[in-house]
Structure 1
Amino acid sequence: MKLLRTIVGLVAALPLAIAIAAVQAPAPASAGPVVFSDDFNGAAGTAPDPAKWRHDIGGSGWGNNELEYYTDRTDNASLDGAGNLVITARRDNPGNYGCWYGTCQYTSARLLTAQTFTQAYGRFETRMKLPRGQGMWPAFWMLGDNIGSAGWPNSGEIDVMENVGFEPSTVHGTIHGPGYSGGAGVGAGYTLPNGQKFSDAFHTFAVDWSPGAIAWSVDGIQYSRKTPADIGGNQWVFDHPFFMIMNLAVGGNWPGNPDAATTFPQQLVVDYVRVTAPDTGSAGRITGLAGKCVDISGSNTADGTKVQLWTCNGTGAQNWTFAADGSVRALGKCLDVSGGSTADGAKVQLWTCNGTGAQKWVLSGANDLVNPQANKCLDVTAANTADGTPLQLWTCNGTGAQKWYRN
């Protein structure tokens, strides 16, 4: 199913895609500083802050045969006086707004930060209550800031949350890039338990994005995680700044059109949008099994030096920094998987930093230190707590030999 959207003045066709089921896990931690925040506090009827949000305006079908005309009027996007932004889709006469697209029958709003805020990596999070009804299509998503030069899908697209009205209990998170766009987008879906609907209450939607990995969560439950290994050998285009978009579409190829049971107006109610920077953090220990530390054998700085478990002693050989490029560093070099191997039992060593996937690591909220290239965990060999036990790469299994803590 091909789902296209258009950014006015940038590109004619931008897809968003359907996603599939996934496994629940704790969401990754994100402890970086808040760099963008809007709590939508203000008087009822006030327009959203123009220093943070701009409007896409128009009704061309947005490449998906959608029916809405996006306006910049407070009838379609305004604060409610109770700390929320309300995006309202109305059955309207778009001719009142200069609609030139013959089939648009509704008005709504689409807000974006292309001219006000972009960022690579970190946590992008919103708390929303979704609309209900056949034909409704709310979304919170992101596009690469190089879309004007690279074009879509080479610029990349990250869909944090999409919902279509005929699936009131399910949201989708998806990535799009060259070779995996539109209906071939790579993603997953999350369904609320016990028949709950996303229109019944507020829920929190987030992505935790780091070099080589993107993880989606709902209400703190991670339901999907994608890395370059998931895109079939295609190019990973998620290592540059993106901007945010939130909108409420009506009708289109994916959700289908409203029917006789769909009532209007419908509202997407947004409690907040918040972005935290990547957590590069300060240097410190990484502790694991038996409270011992990740250690560089003999404090040796030579390439290939064994990385091991050792009683914590406060030396520089145990003083690690999580860098913005996804590497983990001590003594001026990087934590590295020997030979870039993805096999269970691959040796973990110290090596000159080189930016390869063998040196990318993500510390998840479940305290797994994951190498996204292999989608495997840093592991204490044989769960041995003796000083000098070498560390290795191993399939993630949730055991104590793979739990790591920064302190």
Structure 2
Amino acid sequence: MRTRHRITAVAVGIAALAIGPLAALTTQAAVPSPDGWSLVWSDDFDGPAGTGLDTTDWIYDIGHSYPGGPANWGTGEIAYHTDSTQNVYQDGNGNLAIRPLRDSAGNWTSGRIETVRSDFEPAEGGVLRVEGRIQVPDVTGEAAQGIWPAFWMLGEPFRGNYWNWPGVGEIDILENVNGTNEVFATLHCGTSPGGPCNETIGLGGSTTCQVSTCQSAFHTYRMEWDRSGSVEQLRWYLDGNLFHTVDETDVDATTWSNATDHGFFIILNVAVGGDWPGLPTAATASGVPMLVDYVAVYESEGGDPDPDPTTPPPGDHDAYSTIQAEHYDAQSGVQTETTSDAGGGENVGWAANGDWIRFDGVDFGATAANTFSARVASGAGSGISGLVEVRLDDVNAEPIGSFAVANTGGWQSWRTVPANIAPTTGVHTVYLRFTSGQPADFVNVNWFTFSH
């Protein structure tokens, strides 16, 4: 899905529901002690089966909205959130369960909790790490329609105001909708709709769970907020693999300051319905929980204490090698998906007018490059086409080259398209910007390269 436009939905009531069988037992993992990190706060949910949470650490959100805040939590979701152990409970096996339930009248209840602490932010010159080991509801297909689990953070100034979103900042560490094997990570900021952060979409990226799906097993979801360098950065990881970054230079200084110059609180919830996943249907399964093994917050004095050696380092791209599109350093408006192209892996997709992907530190060397080639596919409708443009150092700079793309026979029907570029040497930030006269998605990109 590409949009998350906020809508209003009909409120429903709460009904008494009995707890059914717990999810299959799983082995609890201890809260990790990663090298180079100091533990700030954690919860490993090791209470007796059927018990609630420690309210010195957690706040239960109740109803359909914050008091005086936007209806249906501002997202159009329809479940009434409760503090009942029918919806939010420890399962006796070291997990928190947040379980959406439907009663005989078709009304939904679920759970939404947030940390009492709202001061989570990195020290000046330091790094904050927020991590959870989570299994999203183990349901797919029609049975997952409208189910929207999330692990995320909101800026402390939101508390008591409730109308200053997205300016105060929202950091989504994990979102998943409708039982797909895809993880979304996003920074929301600025103004809505539109604005510097492309709301209501935000500055987001996505990836897929490997080895086992997001639904069938636990995976580790992590966000690092780094203030140790000259440019402040947010980084997102799935099972230790970096898949998305946002730098403070991606937006103007005021927008970044408003979104990040304060603490944050952590939220776990399972929404039902909403403008992004759509409403549940009669086929949507009731009673399948999201399981959370632990949530932990760490701090470090600076840098990336445990970089993943399998992930290409940001800002280190050889212009004359094959640059995988999904290894961008930042993006706006696109997502990643598994590709059927030769070599496998992932491609960047859902690219439409105004979207872009950014690659830092692309080294063209001393001999000028004058050709650009990209591996693209398109399933765009009749009459829909656009340009894949190369821009240097500023997303709004004049293109140094481009080529046009229309329907290639399908979104996984790949071809390599060359184009001339202005002679280019040295090291640059490279933007692939997508421009079209129509608003529809028009191209997927698997990889690109330059040549002399």
| TM-score over 0.5 for the pair | yes
Alignment match, 1:294: none
Alignment match, 1:108: 110
Q: Does the C-alpha gap of structure 1 residues 67 and 245 become closer, same or farther in structure 2, counting only changes over 3 Å? A: same
The C-alpha deviation readout for 1:70-126, integer Å capped at 9, x for no partner, is 0011111010110000001000379xxxxxxxxx8200010001x334211310000
Q: Does the C-alpha gap of structure 1 residues 375 and 68 become closer, same or farther in structure 2, counting only changes over 3 Å? A: same
Of 214-223 and 148-157, deviating more is: 148-157
- The answer to whether residue 187 in structure 2 is matched with residue 175 in structure 1 is yes
SS where residue 243 of structure 1 aligns? strand
- Take 1:3 and 1:108, find their aligned partners in 2: how far apart are those partners? 22
Alignment match, 2:20: none
Alignment match, 1:227: 247
Alignment match, 2:203: 186
Whether the 8 Å contact between 2:37 and 2:298 is mirrored in structure 1 is yes
Q: Does the C-alpha gap of structure 1 residues 162 and 35 become closer, same or farther in structure 2, counting only changes over 3 Å? A: same
Which consecutive aligned stretches of 4+ in structure 1 deviate over 3 angstroms post-superposition? Answer: 2-6, 231-234, 361-364, 366-377, 393-396
SS where residue 264 of structure 1 aligns? coil
The C-alpha deviation readout for 1:17-62, integer Å capped at 9, x for no partner, is xxxxxxxxxxxx8732101110000110110111111111012422
- Take 2:280 and 2:35, find their aligned partners in 1: how far apart are those partners? 39
Whether the 8 Å contact between 2:181 and 2:208 is mirrored in structure 1 is yes
Of 172-181 and 73-82, deviating more is: 172-181
Of 364-373 and 198-207, deviating more is: 364-373
Alignment match, 1:45: 50
SS where residue 200 of structure 2 aligns? helix
In the TM superposition, residue 394 of structure 1 has moved relative to its aligned partner by 6.3
For structure 2, the residue ranges without an aligned partner over 5 or more in a row are 9-33, 65-70, 123-127, 317-328, 331-357, 367-425, 430-452
Q: Does the C-alpha gap of structure 1 residues 362 and 5 become closer, same or farther in structure 2, counting only changes over 3 Å? A: farther
In the TM superposition, residue 198 of structure 1 has moved relative to its aligned partner by 1.1
Q: Which amino acid aligns with 2:111?
A: A
Alignment match, 1:124: 130
Q: Which amino acid aligns with 1:120?
A: E
The C-alpha deviation readout for 1:149-194, integer Å capped at 9, x for no partner, is 692222111001100015x200100001112264240010111347
SS where residue 249 of structure 2 aligns? helix
In the TM superposition, residue 203 of structure 1 has moved relative to its aligned partner by 0.6
Whether the 8 Å contact between 2:35 and 2:305 is mirrored in structure 1 is no
- Take 2:89 and 2:233, find their aligned partners in 1: how far apart are those partners? 35
Q: Does the C-alpha gap of structure 1 residues 223 and 126 become closer, same or farther in structure 2, counting only changes over 3 Å? A: same
- Take 1:118 and 1:93, find their aligned partners in 2: how far apart are those partners? 41
Q: 1:139 aligns with which of 150, 167, 176?
A: 150
Alignment match, 2:234: 214
Alignment match, 1:400: none
For structure 1, the residue ranges without an aligned partner over 5 or more in a row are 7-28, 95-103, 281-321, 323-360, 383-392, 397-407
Whether the 8 Å contact between 1:363 and 1:369 is mirrored in structure 2 is no
Matches within 5 A, 1:5-404: 31-59=36-64, 60-92=71-103, 105-113=107-115, 115-121=116-122, 122-131=128-137, 132=139, 133-147=144-158, 148=160, 151-166=164-179, 168-178=180-190, 179=195, 180=197, 182-193=199-210, 196-211=212-227, 212-231=232-251, 235-236=255-256, 237-277=259-299, 279-280=300-301, 322=302, 365=307
Q: Which amino acid aligns with 1:116?
A: R
Alignment match, 2:335: none
Whether the 8 Å contact between 1:130 and 1:138 is mirrored in structure 2 is yes
SS where residue 98 of structure 2 aligns? strand
Q: Does the C-alpha gap of structure 1 residues 230 and 146 become closer, same or farther in structure 2, counting only changes over 3 Å? A: same
Q: Does the C-alpha gap of structure 1 residues 30 and 238 become closer, same or farther in structure 2, counting only changes over 3 Å? A: farther
SS where residue 123 of structure 1 aligns? strand
- Take 2:51 and 2:58, find their aligned partners in 1: how far apart are those partners? 13
Whether the 8 Å contact between 1:364 and 1:370 is mirrored in structure 2 is no
Q: Which amino acid aligns with 1:82?
A: N
Q: Which amino acid aligns with 2:56?
A: A
SS where residue 73 of structure 2 aligns? coil
- Take 1:363 and 1:276, find their aligned partners in 2: how far apart are those partners? 11
Whether the 8 Å contact between 1:161 and 1:205 is mirrored in structure 2 is yes
SS where residue 266 of structure 1 aligns? coil
In the TM superposition, residue 261 of structure 1 has moved relative to its aligned partner by 2.7
* TM-score where L is the length of structure 2: 0.54
